[in-house]
Amino acid sequence: MSIESYKPGLENVIACETSISYLDVEHEEIVIRGYDLIDLAKKLSYVDVIGLLLDGRLPSADEREGIERALSEQDELPEAIYTILGSLPASTHPMDALRTGVSALSGFDPDLLVSSIEANRRRALRLLAQVPQIVANSYHIGRGEGAVKPRPDLSFVANGLYMITKRIPTAAEERYYNQVLMVYCEHELPNSTFAARVIASTQSDMYGALTGAVASLKGPLHGGANEAVMNMLLEAQTVEGFERLIRVKLANKEKIMGFGHRVYMRKSDPRALLMKEALKEMVEASGDDRLYRMCVVGEEIVREEKGLFPNLDYYAAPVMHLLGIPVELFTPVFFAARVVGLAAHVTEQLAHNRLFRPRVFYTGPRGYHV
């Protein structure tokens, strides 16, 4: 076998066909079923994008209402899931609790043995409705506090933030949280989506595929980077402190979390630019622009020293912080937003399946005998 085609990390390898999304780096556009993600994020609700990703077209006003209603009808998290979350040690990482919760949901699926496109759509909506509750309540329960259930008088988006912060969001907070969900909703074939598609390709199910995706997303090279960014900002506290911290890390040849990207490489991530705008607006409204100035200084230093640009996580982290989301929940929120993209990919994989089974470049010994 020739090793000509061997690419460690599969960089630039086309691994599947999809009509869901595409990163058009040249034109700085994230294409989601034909639309520009940033345009969608500025103008529409996350619930519209649920329709777009699951059904392939933007919903009408009636259809959007139908999706919102379906989400609220299915948002009753089984009591047993609360019991499972409550039995985890307090030291459990929220992404591990989330992985356990998503996995445990499979047994409660009323469509358990059905793998049709329609059953997967219902499954996706159930997961979209229930994952935000696992996210918020694994955190509260882990701290010995009571669970917070969604309120029927709040929108799907507002409920996601309310259950985390225990505060009804203002209209502005709901708008920024909507943008956070939008920028995280779908991004072509990152490690977690690939993991989900690889699992689905054995004709396994949506729960297994999404459980694998949570595990993938936890890593700091992927979803875990948003928490790492916020921890740096909190540690540094001031603009001068952040400048010092970044310079020390660069001098020590450490990676700076929130910078670089396998696909964008040395170009801007369009989602980071949108989150930067949101952060600017938020600090202007609050009258304290320190966090924004810290981020801008960090961005300038890393660009000058390494020629690298921020990825989404760099600016989404401070936005989530200002929305009152605890740092430990940044990556779980990323997953809650990504459920829709993952569900679309798993459904597509199952509908046009080809088992993933690549080969290796063997570097071990041969010819041994016992």
Ligand X SMILES: CC(=O)SCCNC(=O)CCNC(=O)[C@H](O)C(C)(C)COP(=O)(O)OP(=O)(O)OC[C@H]1O[C@@H](n2cnc3c(N)ncnc32)[C@H](O)[C@@H]1OP(=O)(O)O
CA distance 54 to 351: 13
The answer to whether 248 and 292 have CB atoms below 8 angstroms apart is: no
Catalytic residue among 269, 313, 321, 345: 313
Choose the contact partner of 212 out of ligand X, ligand OAA, none; CB within 5 to 8 A by kind: none
Asked if 212 touches ligand OAA (CB under 6 A), the answer is no
Choose the contact partner of 206 out of ligand OAA, ligand X, none; CB within 5 to 8 A by kind: none
CA dihedral 160, 180, 244, 328 (to 10 degrees): 30
Choose the contact partner of 225 out of ligand X, ligand OAA, none; CB within 5 to 8 A by kind: ligand X
The answer to whether 230 and 327 have CB atoms below 8 angstroms apart is: yes
Q: In this chain, which of 123, 187, 218, 321 binds ligand OAA, going by CB under 6 A?
A: 187
Q: In this chain, which of 121, 262, 293, 303 binds ligand OAA, going by CB under 6 A?
A: 262
Asked if 312 touches ligand OAA (CB under 6 A), the answer is yes
313 is catalytic: yes
Catalytic residue among 75, 187, 222, 261: 261
Half-sphere exposure of 176 (CA within 13 A, CB side): 25
Choose the contact partner of 260 out of ligand X, ligand OAA, none; CB within 5 to 8 A by kind: ligand X
The residue nearest ligand X at its CB is 260
Q: Residue 85: which region, alpha, beta or left (left: phi > 0; alpha: psi -120 to 50)?
A: alpha
Q: In this chain, which of 150, 190, 260, 318 binds ligand OAA, going by CB under 6 A?
A: 190
Burial class of residue 61 in the structure, from the number of CB atoms within 10 Å of its CB (0-12 exposed, 13-18 middle, 19+ buried)? exposed
The answer to whether 210 and 363 have CB atoms below 8 angstroms apart is: no
Choose the contact partner of 256 out of ligand X, ligand OAA, none; CB within 5 to 8 A by kind: ligand X
For residue 225, give both structure tokens: 């980077």
Where along the sequence are the contacts to ligand X (CB under 6 A)? 9, 190, 221-223, 225, 255-262, 306, 308, 311-313
Residue among 205 and 227 whose Cβ is closer to ligand X: 227
Shortest gap between Cβ of 221 and ligand OAA (angstroms)? Answer: 9
Shortest gap between Cβ of 88 and ligand X (angstroms)? Answer: 25
Residue among 139 and 334 whose Cβ is closer to ligand OAA: 334
Residue among 230 and 312 whose Cβ is closer to ligand OAA: 312
The answer to whether 11 and 261 have CB atoms below 8 angstroms apart is: no
CA distance 199 to 359: 17
- Residues ≥6 apart with Cβ < 8 Å to 282: 176, 319, 322
Residue with tokens 């005998």: 369
Residue among 173 and 186 whose Cβ is closer to ligand X: 186
CA distance 95 to 53: 24
Residue with tokens 């390494």: 306
Residue among 245 and 312 whose Cβ is closer to ligand OAA: 312
Q: Which residues bind ligand OAA (CB under 6 A)?
A: 187, 190, 222, 262-263, 311-312
Tell me the catalytic residues. Answer: 261, 313
